[in-house]
Amino acid sequence: MANDLVLVTGGTGFIAQHCILALLSAGYGVRTTLRTPEREAEVRKHLAVGGAEPSDRLSFVTADLGEDRGWAEATAGCVYVLHGASPTPSGSYASEDEWIRPAVEGNLRVLRAARDAGVKRVVLTSAFGAVGVGHKKMTRPFNETDWTNLKSRVAPYQKSKTLSERAAWDFIATEGQGLELSAVNPTAVLGPVLGADYSHSIRLIKNLMEGMPGCPKVNSGFVDARDVADLHLRAMTDPAANGERFLAIAGESLWFADVAKVLRQRLGAAAVKVPTREVPNTIVRLGAYVNPAMKGVVPFLGVSMNATSEKAIRLLGWSPRPAEEAIVASAESLVRLNLLTG
């Protein structure tokens, strides 16, 4: 029912804020968690940019994924939980354990609180990183039966998303006591930026618009945050979504050079700095020796990361806008909010 109370964890997050906007638009009451209450004004400002005037239908509670305190209060009276909050490891070169342990324990902490509060269903915001990493060359698009191969070399972030999602499913099977779970696994999330705090994927658009030297031969699926939010709401209420994972991708995956081409074609003068050339793989590999940030790119050079959202479309009636629209919406919002430098 539209007037049910929904908890959205991690209210400062990009996907979380689009979920809040979708829930408020659909008539739900929303409670969201913040690690620090001082960020409430920032969240309200971002929601206003998104067109929301939530008044008394939005409330805030302080809760940290690393502590039990606050979660009983956060989940009390909620019919559903959209859990997208993810702990951030400390330091630029955090250990693998600093990624994995808080992610796993945070998921279990939220699920435990939801179960004890009598919540009907939790929708977990997982990631494509729990699906499509560490595989040898695929001859078909990735789907929900795939899991990231942890026996290969997998970066700590993707490893944490994989292990934390698996831990959530294991909890439901052994300790859920009737609590329902669905998972949404988005590819790279684009769409309208609401403020200076946005998804990691938006940085690709920002870097292209600001004139990065060239495009590495890297492939990715893309999806608009508004459609990711819509999929969360469908997974929250549709009986067919219980116990299921849903990949979120808009159409076919794209190479970074394809993204750059869309920006040049659609943004006109604002895209004058967008690079036109693709950087050879050998140059990227050489650059990785001196630039640590490039090391994470090397395993993905030339690898297709195509996936399919056939399941979400078929089971839940999901209909995402084209990836090109998500790319353009990201760039236009960065320009509109003066978030580009140079």
Catalogue all structural domains in the chain, each as residue range(s) with its CATH number.
Answer: 5-200+221-252+306-322 (3.40.50.720)
User: How far out from the chain centre does Cα 225 lie?
Assistant: 8
- pLDDT tens digits for the chain (342 residues)? 767 999 999 999 999 999 999 999 999 999 999 999 999 999 999 999 999 987 789 999 999 999 999 999 999 999 999 999 987 666 555 788 888 898 999 999 999 999 999 999 999 999 999 999 988 888 899 999 999 999 998 888 899 999 999 999 999 999 999 999 999 999 999 999 999 877 889 999 999 999 998 999 999 999 999 999 999 999 999 999 999 999 999 999 999 999 999 999 999 999 999 998 999 988 888 888 888 777 878 878 888 999 999 999 999 999 999 999 999 999 999 999 999 986
CA pair distance 166, 28, nearest whole angstrom: 29
Q: Which amino acid is at 307?
A: A
Phi, psi for 287 (deg, rounded to 5): -65, -30
* Residue 143 pLDDT: 97
Neighbours of 231 (CB within 10 A): 28
What is the structure's pLDDT at 92? 59
pLDDT at 118: 98
pLDDT, residue 93, reads 54
Closest CA to 39 of 200, 228, 197, 189: 197
Distance between CA atoms of 239 and 241, rounded to whole angstroms? 5
Over 59-107, what HEC string results? EEEECCCCCCCCHHHHHCCCCEEEECCCCCCCCCCCCHHHHHHHHHHHH
Which DSSP helix (H) or strand (E) runs through 123?
strand 121-125
- The residue among 58, 50, 3, 2 whose CA lies nearest residue 34 is 58
Write down the pLDDT at residue 196: 87
Would you state the pLDDT for residue 89? 62
Res 151: pLDDT: 92
Helix, strand, coil percentages (3-state) for the chain, rounded to 5, are 45, 15, 40
